[in-house]
Amino acid sequence: MQITQTPLAGLLVIEPKVWKDNRGYFYESYNAKLFAEAGISANFVQDNQSFSQKGALRGMHAQSPPFEQGKLVRVLQGAVWDIAVDIRKASPTYGQHFGVELSSENHKQLWVPPGFLHGFLTLEDQTIFTYKVSNYYDKASEIGVMWNDPDLNINWNASIPEQDLLLSDKDLLLSAFKDFKSPF
C-alpha cells in the first residue's frame, strides 16, 4: 500500500497493493492496522454508497461538530474527480482545494479528515462511489458551499459543460464561501 501526502496536511491519497492473476484481481480496501500506521485511525461507524451518471456533481459538503466526519472514499465502478477543501480556520491552506481522479481502474482512495468540505464530479455513467465515515449522518449538522464558488475557484479538471451537470436542489442552494462560517 502506498500513501501519498497532499499539499493539504492530513489529506492522504492511498494506493493499495493489487494482486492480479488470470482470474482478475484482489486487494485489501481497508486494513485498520495498516491504515492506523499511515495515520488513519478513525473509528468508522457507517458505510455509504452512491450511484451517479456522468455529470453528477455532489458537494461541497461536511457535517459540523459533534457530528464531524472523516471520510475514506473510493470508486467501485466508473470514475470521479474528487475534491476536498480545507476549512480548518487555523490551517495555512484554509480555503485551498486538492483534486484527484478516483476510479475502478486506479483503485485510488482519498482519506478526507474532519475539517474538509468534500465533493466529486462524476466522469463516467453508472459510477458507484463508496465510502466509510467516522460519524453517523446527522441532517441538522450538514453544512456546505457551492461547487462553483468564485473564492474557492475549484478546478474540476473536466470538460463537462455546466448545462450538462446534474445537481440536487440542495446543492444548488449552498452557501457562498464569503458567507461561510467554518466550525473547524
Ligand X SMILES: Cc1cn([C@H]2C[C@H](O)[C@@H](COP(=O)(O)OP(=O)(O)O[C@H]3O[C@H](C)C(=O)[C@H](O)[C@H]3O)O2)c(=O)[nH]c1=O
Q: Which of 97, 107, 118, 131 is catalytic?
A: 131
Give ∠ CA 104-126-67 in degrees, rounded to 5. Answer: 75
Task: Provide the β-strand partners of residue 119.
Answer: 83
Query: Does position 118 bind ligand X by CB under 6 A?
Result: yes
CA–CA gap between residue 71 and residue 113 (Å, rounded): 6
Which one of 27, 61, 94, 118 is the catalytic residue?
61
Query: Sign (positive/negative) of CA torsion 169, 150, 176, 98?
Result: positive
Total chain residues near ligand X (CB under 6 A)? 12
Q: What is the DSSP string of 126-183?
A: TEEEEEEESS---GGGEEEB-TT-TTT---------GGG-B--TTGGGPBPGGG----
For this structure, is 107 an active site residue?
no
1-9, 29-37, 112-120, 174-182 -> range binding ligand X (CB under 6 A): 112-120
List the interface residues with ligand X, window 144-173 (CB under 6 A): 168, 170
Cell numbers at 11, concatenated: 489529506
Binder to ligand X among 4, 29, 41, 48 (CB under 6 A)? 48
Q: Is 61 one of the annotated active-site residues of the chain? A: yes
Binds ligand X (CB under 6 A): choice among 5, 137, 153, 155: 137
| Residue numbers at the binding site for ligand X (CB under 6 A) | 48, 50, 58-59, 61, 71, 118-120, 137, 168, 170
Q: Which positions are annotated as active-site residues?
A: 61, 131
